Structure formats: structure tokens, C-alpha cells
Chains A and B, each alone.
Chain A
Amino acid sequence: GAVVSQHPSRVICKSGTSVKIECRSLDFQATTMFWYRQFPKQSLMLMATSNEGSKATYEQGVEKDKFLINHASLTLSTLTVTSAHPEDSSFYICSSSGGAETQYFGPGTRLLVL
């Protein structure tokens, strides 16, 4: 299957700072990438769909000004958590389908906001 990487794998930051998470497709062109959030012992919730060269589509209840998504190339999408607060602490994971029906996931990023 497709290979998706994420960086960093783990980040700890102070409340009020911004954190950028990168998601890269390593062996295919990803016109569409997806960003999910997973709280402890819960399922994955889709946050937004990232489209190369256009604005991301956010799910209901997700603040687009807080979770900035940039998909400037076919291999890279970034999620920036702006002015992070402790309640933003979560596991963020991206995926891409490469245009096919199966989504392949990155290894995830654990964010802890102090």
C-alpha cells in the first residue's frame, strides 16, 4: 500500500504557542489528504479534507482559523494548531488515498499542550 509519513511523531508545547504537523506521501501523488483527531480510547474523527491547490474542507465543529491546513504540493499537507490549549492535546493522524478507495494512514503525531 501507499506510504504516508508524519512529522513530528511527538510534540510538547506551551499553551498559546502554535504547532505545525507535516504529512507527506512518499510514493504517490496525493491530491487529497485527510486529517483526523483521536482522543484517548476514542475513535478517529475526521477534521478536514485537504485538497492540493485549494482550500481545505472542514467538518462541522472544527474551527478553520484554529486548525490551519495547507496543501501546497502533491506530496505535502500541513496542519497548524494555532494558539494551542490543553484541550487540543490529542493524537493527530493524516491519511491519503492516492485517488483509490483505500486510505493509508501516517504514523500519527501525539500533541501535548501544557
Chain B
Amino acid sequence: AQKVTQAQTEISVVEKEDVTLDCVYETRDTTYYLFWYKQPPSGELVFLIRRNSFDEQNEISGRYSWNFQKSTSSFNFTITASQVVDSAVYFCALSSGANNLFFGTGTRLTVIP
């Protein structure tokens, strides 16, 4: 069975603080993909990153960085120097292919100016 756990339901930070959103996953597949999506108040899901199970290199994109650790089945997401525009619900998701995208319950991030 596949499962994604985002233990943090809501997080509030003050602007310019760094924040890490946790994601822990479970799967029996040897090949799988991990994703992060951002859902702003408008509702649209914005794709942020995809990582496959064979690539444990951490990735940085501007203020965003991701830490993938297979040993702990985690795929954490860090926003550096947070901004008010970062306020949204962030979903971590798991897939074993193009189908069956399993979402976590999401973490609502509020950045206070």
C-alpha cells in the first residue's frame, strides 16, 4: 500500500524566516516518484518538483530546496526567507507511475508579514 504522511497540519512563520515542511512516505515499489504541489487560495495546484526513487540528490531552486532521504522515507521541503506569497497549502504526493497519485493531507503555511 502507498501512503503519504504530512504530520504538520498548519504552520505559521514570520516573513523572512525559513520553514521546513515534512513529508514521510510508504511504498513497496522500488521505482516511484515523489512530488510537491502548491495550492494557493485560488485553488489551482501548482507543480513544484518531481523526484524519482533513484535520484537522492537534493535539489535547490531559488528559495526552495528539497531533501530526499530514502533511509528515512522522507522528502522534506524547505522554503528559505519566506514571503507572504508563499502562503498556501502544500501537498506532498507519491506515484509509482503516471497513474495513482497519492496525496498527503497537506500542510497549510501562513507567512505573516
Interface: A68 (CB within 8 A)? no
B105–A101 CB distance below 8 A: no
Contact check, B45 vs A93: say whether CB atoms are below 8 A apart. yes
A32 part of interface (Cβ distance < 8 Å): yes
B:87-113 near A, CB below 8 Å: 91, 95, 97-101, 103-106, 108
Instruction: Chain A residues near B42: list those with CB within 8 A.
Output: 107
Q: Is the beta-carbon distance between A108 and B105 smaller than 8 angstroms?
A: no
Residue of A nearest to B50 (CB): A102
A43 within 8 A of partner (CB): yes
Interface SS majority for chain B: loop
Min CB gap B92→A, angstroms = 10
Does A28 have its Cβ within 8 Å of any Cβ on chain B?
A: no
Interface residues contributed by chain A, number (CB under 8 Å): 24
Chain A residues in 8 Å Cβ range of B108: 41
Cβ B44 vs Cβ A107 within 8 A: yes
Q: How far is the CB of B104 from chain A (nearest CB, A)?
A: 7
- Given known A32-B99, A97-B98, A107-B42, contact A1–B91 (CB-CB < 8 A): no
Interchain CB contact (< 8 A) of B97 among A42, A101, A108: A101
Is B105's CB under 8 angstroms from A100's CB?
A: no
| Across-interface contacts of B104 in A (CB, < 8 A) | 43
Q: A32-B98, A49-B99, A110-B43 are known; give 6 further A-B pairs, CB within 8 A.
A: A1-B47, A101-B95, A101-B97, A103-B47, A103-B98, A108-B43
A101 touches B52 (CB 8 A): yes
Residues of A within 8 A of B101 (CB): 34, 46, 95, 103
Provide 5 A-B residue pairs closer than 8 Å at the C-beta atoms, listed in order of the A residue.
A43-B104, A99-B98, A101-B50, A105-B45, A108-B45
In Å, the complex CA distance between A105 and B101 comes to 12
User: A99: which B residues are within 8 A, CB to CB?
Assistant: 98
Task: Say if the beta carbon of B35 comes within 8 Å of chain A.
Answer: yes
B33 within 8 A of A: yes
| Nearest CB in chain B to that of A9: its residue | B43
Assess whether A100 is in contact with B45, with CB atoms less than 8 Å apart.
Answer: no
Is B37 at the interface (CB under 8 A from chain A)?
Answer: yes
Q: In chain A, what residue has the closest Cβ to B46? A: A105
Contact between chains at B44 and A108 (CB < 8 Å)? yes
